[in-house]
Amino acid sequence: MKFLSKTISTFLGVGYVPLAPGTATSAIAVLLYKLCLHKLSWTLYLLTVFVLFFIGVFASSKYSSELNDKDPRRITIDEAVGQLLVLFRMEENWLLLLASFLLFRFFDVIKIYPIKKIEALPQGWGIMLDDIVAALYAGIIIHLYLLIRG
């Protein structure tokens, strides 16, 4: 069980990238979206994100407890789920994918209200939900742009 929670919570080991593991995980999520995930129906895509979220809560709770650290840098499943949420129904345009990536990373790093407060939730809930809120901020901005652009 330790190996499984470690593997899932580090997004198959990407969390061990020495420099900016969260950014690396987000970039991989964008690539996965561009290469194959954009082809999923919207219901299957959302179901996948939903399942990854709950698996992430469980795995990151276990692994953070094992490390005795509330939110270790190497736990990056939260960045993967957050990035995938921003990309929901996104065009495959590289410029839009890059904008989505940058917006998500911006909100994940600066943690404007209430992201910092949500991060304080217990165990995997705080680890995962702060990235969900960052994804909502980024997603609202990018989708408003798309709506205005027409």
Asked if residues 30 and 100 have their Cβ atoms less than 8 Å apart, the reply is yes
- Where exactly are the structural domains of the chain? 39-149
Output the average pLDDT for the chain.
96
pTM: 0.96
| pLDDT of 1 over the 80 cut | no
Q: Which pLDDT band holds residue 71 (cuts at 50, 70, 90)? A: confident
Rounded to whole angstroms, how far apart are CA atoms 143 and 130? 20
**Distance (Å, whole) CA 89 – CA 36:** 13
Assess whether pLDDT exceeds 80 at residue 120: yes
Are the C-beta atoms of residues 63 and 72 closer than 8 Å to each other?
yes
In this prediction, residue 150 has a pLDDT band, given cuts at 50, 70 and 90, of confident
